[in-house]
Amino acid sequence: MTDLSIQIGPLTLKNPIIAASGCFGYGVEYAGVVDLSLLGGVAVKGLFLAPREGHPPERIVETPAGMLNAIGLQGIGVHRFIAEKLPELRDRRATVIVNICGSTLEEYVELARILSDAEGVAALELNISCPNIKEGGITFGCSLTGTYDVVSAVKKVTPLPVIPKLTPNVTDVASFARASEDAGADAVSLVNTFLAMAIDVETRRPKLSNIVGGLSGPAIRPIAVRMVYECRRTVKIPIIGMGGIASATDALEFMIAGADAVQVGTANFVDPFIWTKLLDGIRDYLGRHNIARVRELTGTIDTTAREKEWISS
Amino acid sequence: MTDLSIQIGPLTLKNPIIAASGCFGYGVEYAGVVDLSLLGGVAVKGLFLAPREGHPPERIVETPAGMLNAIGLQGIGVHRFIAEKLPELRDRRATVIVNICGSTLEEYVELARILSDAEGVAALELNISCPNIKEGGITFGCSLTGTYDVVSAVKKVTPLPVIPKLTPNVTDVASFARASEDAGADAVSLVNTFLAMAIDVETRRPKLSNIVGGLSGPAIRPIAVRMVYECRRTVKIPIIGMGGIASATDALEFMIAGADAVQVGTANFVDPFIWTKLLDGIRDYLGRHNIARVRELTGTIDTTAREKEWISS
Amino acid sequence: MPVDVEARVIRNTRLSSEYNVLALAAPEIAAATAPGQFVMVKLGRGSTPLLRRPFSVFEVLRTNGRVDGLTLLSKRVGVTTQMLFDAVEGDVVSCLGPLGRPYTPVDPPADAWMVAGGVGLAPFATLAEVLLARGTGVTLFYGARTARDLFYLDWFRDRGVRLSLATEDGSLGDHGRVTAPLERALAGAAGRTVMVYACGPEPMLEAVARLAAKYQRPSEVSVERVMGCGLGGCYSCVIPIRDGPKGHHYVRSCLGGPVFAGDQIAWDR
Amino acid sequence: MPVDVEARVIRNTRLSSEYNVLALAAPEIAAATAPGQFVMVKLGRGSTPLLRRPFSVFEVLRTNGRVDGLTLLSKRVGVTTQMLFDAVEGDVVSCLGPLGRPYTPVDPPADAWMVAGGVGLAPFATLAEVLLARGTGVTLFYGARTARDLFYLDWFRDRGVRLSLATEDGSLGDHGRVTAPLERALAGAAGRTVMVYACGPEPMLEAVARLAAKYQRPSEVSVERVMGCGLGGCYSCVIPIRDGPKGHHYVRSCLGGPVFAGDQIAWDR
Ligand SMILES: Cc1cc2nc3c(=O)[nH]c(=O)nc-3n(C[C@H](O)[C@H](O)[C@H](O)COP(=O)(O)OP(=O)(O)OC[C@H]3O[C@@H](n4cnc5c(N)ncnc54)[C@H](O)[C@@H]3O)c2cc1C
Ligand SMILES: Cc1cc2nc3c(=O)[nH]c(=O)nc-3n(C[C@H](O)[C@H](O)[C@H](O)COP(=O)(O)OP(=O)(O)OC[C@H]3O[C@@H](n4cnc5c(N)ncnc54)[C@H](O)[C@@H]3O)c2cc1C
Ligand SMILES: Cc1cc2nc3c(=O)[nH]c(=O)nc-3n(C[C@H](O)[C@H](O)[C@H](O)COP(=O)(O)O)c2cc1C
Ligand SMILES: Cc1cc2nc3c(=O)[nH]c(=O)nc-3n(C[C@H](O)[C@H](O)[C@H](O)COP(=O)(O)O)c2cc1C
Ligand code: FES
Ligand code: FES
């Protein structure tokens, strides 16, 4: 029996496959297509204290092997989330990771407090990296002291595992992982989307109402894998890797680079039935390679030189 | 008659389409497929003072809508370039932009001196952004003072237009454009490739011998367009935009975002006959839109809100 | 619950250089579809195109009464619709559905007036069938640029649907937009119970909704927003829904729609 | 000068579940190809796959003496070769070529010994034709995993090529690698002028080059490096070439090769 469980601080996930925030609604939307209890975790759509309208359409646009989004964190706010969504998630035995966003440090702290009192929250993911709203914590996410401060402040008020989500739009992402670790983060997750844009040349207008948005999907995978690899060499805390994962092979690539778990976002739009395929693929791989526990895979990239092989082809 | 010419400091390019450095050899390799004098410019492969071996294979790997490269700046060095390649480029009336790389500031200066004395060099592009070699100037490219220093040092010794090439692997690329402008750069070019990697999960080895490499191709285009847009709002000097351009539409997108000229790299691998298609496509667009001079297009992105249209479809 | 079917192309009928009707072997989806619902389709391996695209279910195909497939009416506007146009028998189209909130069919003595603009005809074949089966009288107001872009006229006529056509170039029916004959009909329908269904470009939907309101008839419109997922996951497909007299909030049209009551939508936003 | 042809698929012959031969209407390229040269092909719209892939020209097709196409012998290993395997008549393959440095054919009284490993058979159909036309005696040493992976044996036999086969499972010819019969032949060829041509996996090429050197015969090997462009633009395809007794430098195999003299290559690097 392969052991797929992984550890994030005090929290054990039954497997390393997590639905990425903002790509899986509040989880309940997908209860009809996938048994939520099968997932390692469900990171729900980024929540502010108050409900938010979000940006006007167009909110997404497809790009080569990727997509841009500028949703603007439309959402129901933390109170309605707890009242309206959390009970169903609990009933369906989902491992709920709540992705929280604030304009101020106090707001993160307040959100953490409120959610710590709610039943059925497994961990907090601090969204300090949303590229397409000014108040989405990106000011924290692009500053080492900002990152340090928000993580330590939230740690002080919650017993829940705290997972800052890092932006890739920085020169040295590993230093942000280090700042997070220093501040007591239980894990880091990366990457959020890359700030990007697309223009309709006929109208000369941006294709997104917000002008810029976040790039996700397979296009960014090689950059995200590199960032996970750099962070793995810098911090000891668990890393939740993501960015363009669309198959079990892709998920394994992140783990071998250094991720303990992974999140899958854009690929869920393309194939909402992907979850069991990912789990089956990982089980199959571990079986073929005689690896008993998935956690043994993390960071096992082999950077020694290769030997040539005679493959009689 | 549409006027395709654009201005880079004292230099007039006959059109805004330039072959990107490292993607067009020394130019002479392509003399058989395209009339080099038709191009706005030919940015030759990055040159050091001395010849360089480069990295062992594998040097490239394909990724979704992109490719990674870690060539390691294999090259013949500046002296052999001047002796062996420049005469042919001159004969073929190519507008030669020499991409130079150094490990030290002195090396950039020395290269600039040598090339200023050579006949047939139109401009110098300072590669301070190669992601996959330690000595490739990336230490300059990731530091504002480093960028400022190398640009001003080179400007002092050459009458040629100086074009620092910026790396996208930074938090705020516009500040590097600003530092370049302050230091007297005649233009900036961006983007170089994104630091990235890919792992073969079966062997758990990196797919590139150098472990990490640079991501180019359509995958990165939306990020590159955003960076050009940001730089355009920050500096007045010309911007040469690039990253994933594979059609006239893509080139126009960069110009509307703020580029005066563009470079095309990876797409030349896919279609070495792309050059006349790009020029024809741009001419056609300008004609359709009644734009007499291509330079009128630069930075004309319209960020006012749209009206809905009744398209009886 | 939606299902994902790797549907084989049964046949591809080109209606013009832009429009085609693609028949797909997806009986599971076809049997479960209510009029106005849609499927999310993906063609090709690999990641270009990356995302699925939404298409209304056009016809539910039956052989000897058994449902064995569905068709899509597609207009060529970009990469996926080009692939749908080019598809040949035996190709496979990944088809996820049925999705979304359907139209609400009315019963006699109410009359059903369907207003279609261009490819907005798509949901009305299945809606007409359901309405006719209930004995409801059905009229199709159908507008397009030109006569050659008006399709399936006989299909509707043969089933007893009244047609009122309009073309922008006047080549068939009313000269101008389809809202003109609709307004004439509304003006002359005093005392009759009418439900107005619309599908087409958004400005047309708005005009139809306003006309229906003006003549105090209910309307249901099917909106077309860019959809990333079709399942409520991405929040790309939102439409502003009225909140009191002045406010609005964004509702995901893949879950709350694509069919909305015409007076729910905050058209001015 | 290479040309880029949007070549129509004339036919696709599957040789096994892995190998196929694709005939393409690219007469311009076929007529200009010398044995050992290659084409860079691209299938599909869009950017997955992004880059072209290199394939040797396998056969030059002629009808009534007029060149009208070429074939590729392809082994299914990834995305492009899968598309080549799946291609059907009428599909279009973008085909750039001919590219690279060809083999140097020898004249009688020299004998030509061609050594092929698996899909490394590809350049030897055209090479054999050119050699036979010069009256040169041709032997094909041809190894594969198993008998079912040895193709076109009659094609070569019919044209008068001597065959020496090897399979790793012993199902046909020598049991083991193709270098064993090659070495036996070299050992027994005292006094004969022989040119050894090889194409196949790199360790095989190295073994063949060393054997040729050991028996003081010249060799030419065709190497297979990952190629991004095929025209010298990207420097991805390099191979270490000897520089004095200990040194080496990297040469682009798309320009300097793919065919190199066996003793040029710094095999130990
Ligand atoms: C509920 C619903 C039902 C629809 N039913 C039909 C139908 O029956 N027949 C039909 O021909 N079309 C229908 N459409 C529109 C259809 O989805 C788009 O034409 C299609 O997505 C275009 O894809 P493409 O790859 O060909 O174009 P692209 O290359 O993606 O883009 C071309 C144009 O289409 C628009 N577009 C792109 N993606 C979407 C999207 N996901 N949703 C809406 N517009 C988009 C873009 O803004 C662009 O202007 C429907 C849309 C919705 C929301
Ligand atoms: C000069 C030359 C001639 C060749 N002739 C033939 C031939 O006649 N028949 C044939 O079947 N194969 C030939 N090859 C090999 C062929 O190019 C590869 O099998 C093909 O590129 C694989 O493409 P893919 O998309 O199917 O595989 P991918 O999905 O790209 O990768 C599958 C595997 O193939 C390798 N590969 C990928 N790209 C290349 C590349 N550009 N060059 C070499 N290997 C690559 C990868 O490392 C990987 O291990 C030749 C190669 C060269 C350099
Ligand atoms: C439509 C959309 C909405 C997103 N919303 C959020 C969000 O609310 N909070 C967050 O931390 N990340 C958000 N993300 C980022 C994803 O969680 C993920 O980090 C990113 O998309 C990269 O993963 P992918 O390539 O698998 O999608 C969003 C991404 C998309 C595409
Ligand atoms: C194989 C390869 C080699 C490159 N070598 C150089 C180089 O020598 N100097 C340089 O400034 N940029 C180099 N680049 C970066 C390109 O010039 C260009 O900035 C980048 O590839 C983005 O453009 P593209 O997407 O059009 O390729 C190289 C890129 C590739 C793919
Ligand atoms: S299409 Fe994704 S939420 Fe509606
Ligand atoms: S394949 Fe690009 S240089 Fe040889």
| Distance in angstroms (rounded) separating the CA atoms of residues B18 and B14 | 10
Contact list, A253 vs chain B (CB under 8 Å): 198-199, 201
Which residues fall within 8 angstroms of residue D184, CB to CB, at 6 or more apart?
none
Contacts with B235 (C-beta within 8 Å, 6 or more apart), sequence order: B174, B177, B178, B180, B181, B188
For residues C216-240, one letter each, b for 16 or more C-beta atoms within 10 angstroms of the residue's C-beta and e for the rest, the string is ebbbbbbbbbbbbbbbbbbbbbbbb
pLDDT at A223 over 70: yes
Mean of pLDDT values over C186-211: 95
Asked if residue D262 lies in contact with residue D198, where contact means CB atoms within 8 angstroms, the answer is yes
Tokens 């010398």 — which residue?
D34
The pLDDT value given to residue B140: 82
Give pLDDT, residue A136: 59
Torsional class of B15: left (φ above 0), alpha (ψ -120 to 50), beta (otherwise): beta
> What percent of chain C has a predicted confidence (pLDDT) above 70?
100
pLDDT-based confidence at A311, cuts 50/70/90? Answer: very low
The CATH superfamily of A6-54+72-194+216-312 is: Aldolase class I (3.20.20.70)
Closest CA to B54 of B37, B25, B75, B27: B75
Q: What is the mean pLDDT of residues C51-77?
A: 96
D46 CB neighbours in chain A (<8 A) are: 64
Q: Are strands A199-200 and B6-8 parallel, antiparallel or unpaired?
A: unpaired
Query: Is the confidence at residue A257, as pLDDT, over 70?
Result: yes
Size of interface C-D (CB pairs under 8 A): 17
Tell me whether residue D39 is exposed, middle or buried, using C-beta atoms within 10 angstroms of its C-beta: 0 to 12, 13 to 18, 19 or more.
buried
A81 DSSP 8-state letter: I
Distances (CA, A) of C28 to B245, C67, C96: 43, 8, 10
Task: Say yes or no to pLDDT of B270 above 70.
Answer: yes
B88-115: pLDDT as tens digits: 999 999 999 999 999 899 999 999 999 9
- What is the per-residue pLDDT for B311? 43
Query: Tell me: the pLDDT tens digits for A271-289?
Result: 999 999 999 999 999 999 9
Q: How far is CA D259 from the centre of its chain?
A: 9
How far is Cα A111 from Cα A77, in angstroms, rounded to an integer?
Answer: 10
Q: Which of B25, B54, B65 sits opposite D250 (nearest CB)?
A: B54
Residues in B closer than 8 angstroms to C165, CB to CB, are: none
Distance D132 CA to ligand 5 centre (A): 66
Over residues B186-232, the pLDDT tens digits come to 999 999 999 999 999 999 999 999 999 999 999 999 999 999 999 99
Pocket test for ligand 3, best of A97, A192, A254 (most atoms within 8 A of CB): A192
Cα-Cα-Cα-Cα torsion C202, C204, C207, C210, nearest 10 degrees, comes to -60
Instruction: DSSP letter for B52, please.
Output: B
> For D164-170, what is the mean pLDDT?
95
User: In this structure, which residue's CA is closest to atom 8 in ligand 4?
Assistant: B46
Which one of C43, C47, C48 would you mutate to disrupt binding with D, by most D Cβ within 10 Å of its Cβ? C48
> In what helix (H) or strand (E) does residue B212 lie, and over which residues does it extend?
strand B212-216
pLDDT-derived band at D257 (thresholds 50, 70, 90) equals very high
Is the C-beta atom of C226 inside 6 A of ligand 5? Answer: no
The answer, yes or no, to whether any atom of ligand 3 lies below 6 A from the CB of A216, is yes
- Point out the ligand nearest to the CA of residue D228: 6
Q: Are C143 and C165 in contact (CB under 8 A)?
A: yes
- C46 contacts in D (CB within 8 Å)? 44, 46, 48-49, 79
* A260, two tokens: 């303990």
* pLDDT score recorded for residue D1: 84
Q: What's the pLDDT at C44? A: 78
Per-residue pLDDT band at D245 (split at 50, 70, 90): confident
Neighbours of C83 (CB within 10 A): 21
Q: If we measure between CA atoms, which residue out of D186, D153, D155 comes closest to residue D167?
A: D153
Residues 57-86 on A with a CB inside 8 Å of C are: 57-62, 64-67, 69, 71, 74
CB contact under 8 A, C117 and B64: no
Protein residue with least CA distance to atom 11, ligand 3: A127
Give the whole-angstrom CA distance, residue C153 versus residue C131: 17
Residue tagged 């006229």 (tokens): C153
Question: Nearest-CA residue of chain A relative to D169?
Answer: A312
Interior CA angle at B162 toward B157 and B163, to 5°? 150
Pocket test for ligand 6, best of D99, D252, D259 (most atoms within 8 A of CB): D252
Contact D106, D219 (CB under 8 A): no
- The tens digit of pLDDT for each residue in C166-196 reads 999 999 999 999 999 999 999 999 889 999 9
> How far is Cα A171 from Cα B176, in angstroms, rounded to an integer?
12
CA distance C19 to C118: 10
Return d(Cα A192, Cα B125) in angstroms, integer. 32
The answer to whether the CB of A102 is under 6 A from ligand 3 is no
- Cβ–Cβ gap D201/A310 under 8 Å: yes
From the list A64, A310, A313, the residue facing D47 with the nearest CB is A64
Q: What's the confidence (pLDDT) of residue D47?
A: 84
Residue % of chain A over a pLDDT of 90: 91
- Say if CB D175 and CB D167 are below 8 A apart: yes
A242: Cα separation from own chain's centroid: 6
Give the orientation angle of helix B221-232 with respect to helix B173-182, to 10 degrees.
Answer: 40
Cα C159 from Cα C139, distance rounded (Å) = 11
Which protein residue's CA is at the shortest distance from atom 53 of ligand 1?
Answer: C224
Q: What is the C-alpha separation between B58 and B64, in angstroms, rounded?
A: 18
In the set A101, A130, A142, A231, the catalytic residue is A130
The CB of C56 under 6 Å from ligand 1? The reply is: yes
State residue A237's pLDDT score.
98
Q: What residues does ligand 4 touch, defined as CB less than 6 Å away? A: B 20-23, 45-46, 69, 71, 73, 99, 127, 130, 165, 192-193, 216-217, 242-245, 264-267; D 234
* Chain B nearest-CA residue for C178: B312
For chain A, the C-alpha Rg in angstroms (whole number) is 19
Parts of chain C belonging to CATH 2.40.30.10: 3-99
- Whether the Cβ atoms of residue C11 and residue C89 lie closer than 8 Å to each other: yes
Q: Under 8 Å CB-to-CB from B112, ≥6 apart: which residues?
A: B100, B124, B154, B157, B158, B160, B162
**D224 C-alpha to ligand 2 centroid (Å):** 8
Q: Name the strand (E) or helix (H) holding A150.
A: helix A144-157
What percent of chain B has a predicted confidence (pLDDT) above 70? Answer: 94
The two three-digit tokens of residue A265, written as one number: 């976002």
Mean pLDDT of chain D: 95
Compute the distance between CA of residue A165 and CA of residue A180 in angstroms, rounded to an integer.
10
Matching residue, tokens 């419109």? C221
**Contacts for B187 with CB less than 8 Å, ≥ 6 apart:** B8, B9, B161, B163, B237, B238, B239, B240, B260
Q: Which of residues 66-105 of B touch A (CB under 8 A)?
A: 66, 68
Q: What is the mean pLDDT of residues A179-189?
A: 98
Phi, psi of A88 (to 5 degrees): -65, -40
d(CA B222, CA A211) in angstroms, rounded, equals 12
| Ligand 5 in reach of C238 Cβ (< 6 A) | no
Contact yes or no for D144/D118 (Cβ under 8 A): yes
Chain B positions touching C119 (Cβ under 8 A) are 313
Catalytic residue positions of B, numbered: 130
Q: Is the pLDDT score of B307 beyond 70? A: no
Average pLDDT estimate for C195-213: 97
Mean pLDDT of A133-146: 76
Tell me the average pLDDT across C66-93.
95
- Distance from residue A69's CA to the centre of ligand 3 (Å): 8
Confidence of residue B130 (pLDDT cuts 50, 70, 90): low
**Residue C224 near ligand 1, beta carbon < 6 Å:** yes
DSSP 8-state class, residue C266: -
pLDDT tier at A130, thresholds 50, 70, 90? low
Q: Does the pLDDT at position C97 exceed 50?
A: yes
Query: Probe ligand 2: pick from D19, D77, D101, D229, max atoms within 8 Å of CB?
Result: D77
Q: Is the peptide bond before C251 cis (omega within 30 degrees of 0)?
A: no
Average the pLDDT over each of B152-156, C44-48, C108-112, D194-198 and give the range with the smallest value. Answer: C44-48
Structure ipTM: 0.96
- CATH number of the structural domain C3-99: 2.40.30.10
Interface of D with C in 10-69 (CB under 8 A): 44-49
Burial B46-82 (b: 16+ CB within 10 A, else e): bbbbebbebbbbbbbbbbbbbbbbbbbbbbbebeebb
- Please return the burial class of D213, using the count of CB atoms within 10 Å of its CB with bins 0-12, 13-18 and 19+: middle
Residue D25 phi, psi dihedral angles, 5° rounding: -80, 80
Taking CA atoms only, the protein residue closest to ligand 3 atom 8 is A46
Q: From the CA of A59, give the closest atom in ligand 3.
A: 1
Q: Give the best residue of D42, D47, D48, D92 to mutate against chain C (max C CB count within 10 A).
A: D48
Query: Mean pLDDT across the stretch D244-251?
Result: 88
| Residue where the block lists tokens 């892995």 | D18
Domain ranges of chain B: 6-54+72-194+216-312
Q: Which of C231, C259, C260 to mutate to test the pocket of ligand 5 (most atoms within 8 A of CB)?
A: C231
Tokens in use for B69?
């490269």
Instruction: Tell me the fold of C111-223.
Output: Rossmann fold (3.40.50)
- What confidence score (pLDDT) does residue B308 get? 46
Report which of B50, B42, B63 is spatially closest to residue B193, judged by C-alpha positions. B63
pLDDT in tens, D199-220: 999 999 999 999 999 999 999 9
CA of D109 vs chain A CAs: smallest distance (Å): 32
Mutate to test the interface with C, among D42, D43, D45, D91 (most CBs of C within 10 A): D45
User: pLDDT tens across D23-67, in order?
Assistant: 999 999 999 999 999 999 998 777 889 999 999 999 999 999 999
Contact of C36 with C26, CB cutoff 8 Å? no
